[in-house]
Structure formats: structure tokens, C-alpha cells
């Protein structure tokens, strides 16, 4: 084995010192193991970590009756990976190779170790995350997806499993030999595609994301009956930050997310303006790290479940989940974000972050200095972006579907656009195609009146067609601005409070909505910055306010601290 392979293997399967093993013994159960004894089976929904004190054990991948050795672990080494933190079923069989001794740690015990033993926590977390990356790279998991790249359902499920960091094997019917034999062996037909084979036995035919999540046990250990200190709706940057801070400060936090952790940020191929990442970080990586961090502190996640309704008539509040079940919450953090309106143009999303942008800040202005750019939209944000970009760009084309700007843009902005020789407003014109290899290189627009198409070598398009807040599920429980974004704190005028019957002697806290103890953070909030950093800042700040509300209401003892079964964490304000 080369030095670098050896170093990687040591990080993947590190050996703890005798002192560290002794520390772990104080959290788990020490017991003997017998040669040949099966310690855990794949699909076991109470996954455990085994720390070898004496002897060795094999981690085995099981496919039908076949076993493949993934790794043999010896004294000082331990089993387990990210699934254990999530409380999801085990992927591998663990079998004792020798008579020996082990320490068995269940999920709660592992979480306690991670929170209270800083030195061991670093080694274990790194190993768990690296193991998950290896499982994904090798396609070792408990799911097989059978589909075709030409099938929308297959693409949806691939995206869902990938974004959730769940290892799976993909069988592509377009390249697979003897497809009929595969169909016959599983008792499926082409009409069933995409098919997911879960735990090697359950066959799901064209399943929803939710059905796959349920079958793979994504939410199996989440207690739906508990009254939560805080329910966080949405696991974008704002919701993830709220989850990390809430769980690390001892609150019993549950996050509800219909897709996967990361929100819009996952569409960003490189976030370069987030503090601490001078070379940028992909949205997917930032989300995966934040998700693991929230899991480590003990936050619960309901994945592939959507908040369908907030019941706000009485406390505790209740969040109804689509398809049934409700969760009771002392406080709620609304972090359900927004979606940008996008023109329906093929390949547009391929260039998001590399030629297609939804905001025009100094960073984007620098990227297109001296070049021609296109702005889509006729509202004030499009007008402001045009004036701003014209200071650095060679020429700005503003494409508007309507006859002009009069109905959608403020008069003063229209005058500025008209008076600027670097700006052209093209009315009745829409973008119809984008092309490029890696980065956007050409755009084509069409004038509806003349019917003429024009293709130009333009490398930067700004979509300023507005954003829609994800607030349908609130059914008007809280006050919103004219565009549907939620008003909070100082933005709430006495009239807003009177109309909503604000019941308290105090004014709403800074991120609080017109419902006491219900906060709005990130892109869903009126006046928010629509940036990752601001969403993260608001999500974390809201947790301090949750503590304040719980104290005000005499509920200052969060339920996780009162309950002995949940881990106890570091300091609380
Ligand atoms: C292509 C692209 C590139 C970007 N690049 C950058 C960048 O480089 N730098 C930067 O600072 N910002 C960037 N942004 C903006 C940034 O991603 C957002 O400002 C940020 O993600 C907002 O975070 P959020 O958590 O408030 O909302 P979101 O990211 O929108 O997350 C909201 C979450 O709530 C979930 N949700 C919605 N409805 C419900 C419901 N009913 N129940 C439960 N959950 C629900 C959604 O599935 C989603 O996961 C980019 C945005 C895009 C689209």
C-alpha cells in the first residue's frame, strides 16, 4: 500500500489509543464476542457502533447469499458511519472474526460521545464522513435504482438520493445487457420504470421520493408524538443554521424538509462569498457539512415530508405534514425560502453560477466587467441591476416581454435607463436559447412582434423575474408584504399587529412574525438579503429568540434537557 493510501485508510479506519477506548467504555456496554457471531445485520434499524477492545471483526457487504469483505477492524478500531447519526438502518453485516471483547454504542451513546468528547469526536466524525463518501463512490448501499436517463422519474430519484447523500447502485437500462432477464428476475415490466430495489428485497415501482424515503427508513426513528421546543420548516441554509444552533443549545428541534438539506444553495456550483471559504465551496458540500453537524448535535430531520399547514389558533402550535400526522411545537422557525421565477429555457440551469445569475452584486459586476450582459425582467430589481451593471459592463440589454416598462418599473428608474447610452431596453423580447460548454457562451432572443431571432456571444444573463416565497402552507396565519414575503420585528406596523390581534404587551422580537414564538428567517422573510450568509445568520439568531420566548412563557427548561434519553449539550444562554 502506498503512503497516501495508508494515510487515507488510517483516516477511514483510525485506531484509537487505549485511553480513548477506555473513555468510550464509560458511554457504552463492554461485552465479550464469540468467533462467528453476527453482531449486526444489514437493514437493522437500530444501528450500533462496535469498538474492538480485543480480537477482530469483519464488515461485510451482503448481496443475496454473497458476502464481500469491506474491511476487517482490529483492537482500537470501530464500525459505524453517518447512518448511525441519522438513526437509519445499517448497510453492512458485522461479524466477529475471533473470540474477543467489544464496546457496543447505540445512537444516543454515540451522540453523547460526539458532544462531550472533543478529541474522540473529531476522529469519529471524520471517519464517519469519509466512510459515507467511500460508500457513495463505490455504490455500496441498500438501494438500487433501475431506470433510464431519458426518463424524468429516474432523474428525479437520482437527484433525490444523490442530494440526500444516500449511496445507491444505478442500473441504466439504456446500456444494460439482457434487460428482459433483469425484468423477469424482479417481476417488473418497462411500464414500472423507474424501479427502486430497497434493502435488496422491496420492489418499488415508479415510487414518489416520499415512498423511497419511507422504505429506506429515512425517518424511521423520528418521534412524531413529542411536543418539540422548536419545529423548523425548511432545511436550506437558514433552517440548517437554526437546527445546528437549536440542537447544540439543548433544544428539542425537528426539521421538516420535502427534498434534501441545502435548499436553493445546492444549485450553486461554487459559493464564493461565504465567510471562511476563500476558494469557494459548492452548495452541496456546504449543505452536507451542515446536515452532519446538525445530526451530530441531535437535531431530528423529517426528509421527503412537507409542511402542509400551520395550525395557529392555539398553543402549542401544530404543523400538519402532507399525507397525515401533525407535529406539536412550542415555537416555530419558518425557513421555507423562496423559488426564483425562471423562464422555461432548455439548459438554463446548467449555467447557474457560470453565466446565469439571480442577483447582481459587486461580485457579479466584476465577473462581467467590459462585456455585454442580458437582464431578464421589467421590475424595479431589473432596473436597479441594469443601472448598477452599466457602470462596469460594456452594454446591458434589458429583455421585457411587455410592450415597455411603464407598468412594472418606477418612473425614476425608467428615466435612468433611457438616459444611459450603455443600456438598451428590448420590449416584446424574450430569451429563447442559451449555449455554452461549461460556461455560458451564446444567447438567442426573439422579438415577438417582428418574429426575428438574434444570436449573440453574450456570457452573462441576469434573471430578475422575481421570487415566490414558499408560504402556501401558512394559509395566511401570519402577516406578509405585498409580494407574500413574511413581515417580522420592526417591519410590523401597529396596524399589522392590530389586524392580526397581536396578544402580548411587548412588540414582536426582531425575527418574530405576527404570531408570538413563530419566527421567519432567510429568503422567506420580507426584506431579507437573499444570500447564504444572511440566511445562516438569521437562522442562528432566531434560536436566541426562541430561548427568550420559552423563558418569557415559563418554558425555559427545553424538553431535551428535561428528558434523560436525549443528550445533554454545552452551554445555553
Ligand atoms: C443558482 C443559485 C445560486 C446562488 N448562489 C449564491 C451564492 O453564490 N452566494 C450566496 O450568498 N447566495 C447564493 N444564492 C442565494 C442563496 O442560495 C439563498 O439566499 C439561500 O439559499 C436562502 O436560504 P433559505 O434557507 O432562506 O431558503 P432556501 O435555500 O430557499 O431553502 C428553503 C427550504 O425550505 C424547503 N421548503 C419549502 N417549502 C416547504 C414546506 N412547505 N415544508 C417544508 N420545507 C419546505 C425547501 O425545499 C428548501 O429546502 C444562490 C441561489 C441560487 C438559486
What DSSP line would sit under 281-315, residue for residue?
Answer: B-HHHHHHHHHHHHHHTT-EEEET--EEEEE-SSS
Whether the CB-CB separation of 530 and 223 falls below 8 Å is answered with no
Q: In the predicted model, what is the mean pLDDT of residues 99-106?
A: 97
What pLDDT is recorded for position 559?
Answer: 54
Q: What is the pTM of this model?
A: 0.85
Residue 464's contacts (CB-CB under 8 Å, 6 or more residues apart) are 358, 360, 375, 376, 377, 379, 381, 382, 385
Please calculate the CA angle 146-150-151 and round it to the nearest 5 degrees.
60
User: How many angstroms is it from 26 CA to the middle of ligand 1?
Assistant: 42
Q: In the predicted model, what is the mean pLDDT of residues 24-35?
A: 97
- Give the span between the Cα atoms of 508 and 499, in whole angstroms: 14
Residues lining ligand 1, CB < 6 A?
233-239, 256-259, 263-265, 267-268, 271, 273, 306-307, 335-338, 340, 352-353, 358, 470, 473, 522-523, 530-533, 535
* Residue linked to cell 415530508: 305
Nearest to 239 by CA among 214, 265, 221, 213: 265
Half-sphere exposure of 187 (CA within 13 A, CB side): 4
User: How many angstroms is it from 300 CA to the middle of ligand 1?
Assistant: 20
Nearest protein Cα to ligand 1, atom 48 = 263
561 has a pLDDT exceeding 80: no
Which of 245, 486, 532 to mutate for ligand 1's pocket (most ligand atoms within 8 Å of CB)? 532
Nearest protein Cα to ligand 1, atom 9 = 271
Which atom of ligand 1 lies closest to the CA of 340?
A: 53
- Give the span between the Cα atoms of 213 and 136, in whole angstroms: 17
Per the DSSP assignment, residues forming a β-bridge with 56 are 74
* Each residue's pLDDT tens digit, 361-419: 777 888 899 999 999 999 888 998 999 999 999 999 999 999 999 888 889 999 999 99
* Each residue's pLDDT tens digit, 280-322: 898 889 999 999 999 999 999 999 999 999 999 999 999 999 9
Nearest protein Cα to ligand 1, atom 30 = 337
SS3 content of the chain, % helix, strand, coil (to 5): 30, 25, 40
Which atom of ligand 1 lies closest to the CA of 268?
A: 3
- Give the span between the Cα atoms of 472 and 315, in whole angstroms: 21
- Give the span between the Cα atoms of 338 and 486, in whole angstroms: 11
Task: For residue 246, name the pLDDT band (cuts at 50, 70, 90).
Answer: very high
Whether the CB-CB separation of 530 and 467 falls below 8 Å is answered with yes
Which atom of ligand 1 lies closest to the CA of 473?
A: 41
Which atom of ligand 1 lies closest to the CA of 521?
A: 26
Q: In this structure, what C-alpha cell is assigned to residue 141? A: 448501499
* Residue linked to cell 444570500: 531
- Can you count the helices (H) and strands (E) in the chain? 16, 28
Per the DSSP assignment, residues forming a β-bridge with 571 are none
Please calculate the CA angle 75-81-87 and round it to the nearest 5 degrees.
120
- Give the span between the Cα atoms of 212 and 198, in whole angstroms: 8
Amino acid at each position: 500500500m502506498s503512503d497516501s493510501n495508508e494515510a487515507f485508510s488510517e483516516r477511514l479506519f483510525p485506531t484509537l489509543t487505549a485511553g480513548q477506548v477506555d473513555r468510550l467504555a464509560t458511554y457504552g456496554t463492554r461485552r465479550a464476542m464469540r468467533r462467528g457471531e453476527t453482531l449486526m445485520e444489514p437493514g437493522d434499524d437500530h444501528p450500533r457502533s462496535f469498538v474492538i477492545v480485543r480480537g477482530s471483526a469483519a464488515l461485510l457487504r451482503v448481496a443475496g447469499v454473497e458476502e464481500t469483505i469491506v474491511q476487517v477492524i482490529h483492537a482500537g478500531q470501530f464500525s459505524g458511519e453517518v447512518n448511525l447519526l441519522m438513526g437509519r438502518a445499517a448497510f453492512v453485516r458485522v461479524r466477529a472474526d475471533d473470540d474477543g471483547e467489544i464496546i457496543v454504542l447505540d445512537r444516543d451513546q454515540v451522540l453523547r460521545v460526539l458532544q462531550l468528547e472533543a478529541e474522540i469526536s473529531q476522529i469519529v466524525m471524520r471517519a464517519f464522513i469519509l466512510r459515507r463518501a467511500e460508500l457513495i463512490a463505490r455504490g455500496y448501499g441498500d438501494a438500487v435504482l433501475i431506470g433510464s436517463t431519458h426518463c424524468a422519474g429516474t432523474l428525479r430519484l437520482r437527484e433525490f438520493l444523490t442530494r440526500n447523500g444516500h449511496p445507491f447502485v444505478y442500473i441504466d437500462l439504456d446500456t444494460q445487457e439482457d434487460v428482459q432477464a433483469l425484468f423477469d428476475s424482479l417481476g417488473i415490466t418497462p411500464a414500472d420504470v423507474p424501479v427502486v430495489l430497497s434493502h435488496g428485497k422491496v420492489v418499488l415501482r415508479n415510487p414518489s421520493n416520499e415512498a423511497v424515503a419511507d422504505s429506506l427508513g429515512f425517518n424511521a426513528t423520528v418521534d412524531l408524538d413529542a411536543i418539540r421546543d422548536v419545529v423548523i420548516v425548511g432545511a436550506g441554509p437558514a433552517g440548517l443554521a437554526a437546527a445546528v444552533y437549536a440542537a447544540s443549545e439543548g433544544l428539542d428541534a425537528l426539521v421538516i424538509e420535502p427534498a434534501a438539506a441545502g435548499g436553493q444553495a445546492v444549485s450553486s456550483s461554487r459559493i464564493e462569498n461565504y465567510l471562511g471559504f476563500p476558494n469557494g465551496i459548492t452548495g452541496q458540500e456546504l449543505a452536507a457539512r451542515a446536515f452532519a453537524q446538525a445530526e451530530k448535535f441531535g437535531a431530528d430531520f423529517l426528509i421527503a415530508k412537507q409542511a402542509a399547514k400551520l395550525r395557529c389558533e392555539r398553543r402549542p402550535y401544530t404543523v400538519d405534514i402532507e399525507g397525515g400526522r401533525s407535529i406539536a411545537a412550542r415555537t416555530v422557525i419558518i425557513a421555507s425560502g423562496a423559488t426564483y421565477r425562471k423562464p422555461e429555457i432548455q439548459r438554463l440551469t446548467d449555467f447557474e453560477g457560470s453565466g446565469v445569475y439571480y442577483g447582481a452584486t459587486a461580485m457579479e459586476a466584476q465577473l462581467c466587467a467590459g462585456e455585454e450582459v442580458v437582464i431578464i425582467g421589467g421590475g424595479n430589481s431589473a432596473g436597479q441591476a441594469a443601472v448598477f451593471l452599466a457602470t462596469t459592463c460594456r452594454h446591458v440589454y434589458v429583455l421585457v416581454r411587455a410592450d415597455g416598462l411603464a407598468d412594472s418599473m418606477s418612473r425614476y428608474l425608467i428615466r435612468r435607463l433611457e438616459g444611459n447610452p450603455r443600456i438598451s431596453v428590448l420590449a416584446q423580447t424574450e430569451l429563447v436559447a442559451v449555449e455554452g460548454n461549461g460556461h455560458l457562451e451564446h444567447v438567442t432572443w426573439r422579438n415577438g412582434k417582428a418574429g426575428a431571432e438574434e444570436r449573440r456571444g453574450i456570457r452573462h444573463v441576469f434573471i430578475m423575474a422575481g421570487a415566490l416565497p414558499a408560504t402556501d402552507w401558512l394559509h395566511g396565519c401570519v402577516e406578509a408584504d405585498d409580494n407574500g414575503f413574511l413581515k417580522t420585528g420592526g417591519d410590523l406596523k401597529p396596524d399589522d399587529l392590530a389586524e392580526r390581534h397581536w396578544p402580548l404587551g411587548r412588540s414582536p422580537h426582531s425575527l418574530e412574525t405576527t404570531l408570538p414564538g413563530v419566527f421567519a428567517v432567510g429568503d422567506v422573510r420580507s426584506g431579507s438579503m437573499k444570500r447564504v450568509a444572511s440566511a445562516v445568520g438569521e437562522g442562528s439568531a432566531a434560536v436566541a429568540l426562541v430561548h427568550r420566548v420559552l423563558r418569557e412563557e415559563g418554558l425555559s427548561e427545553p424538553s431535551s434537557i428535561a428528558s434523560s434519553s436525549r443528550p445533554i449539550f454545552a452551554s445555553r444562554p
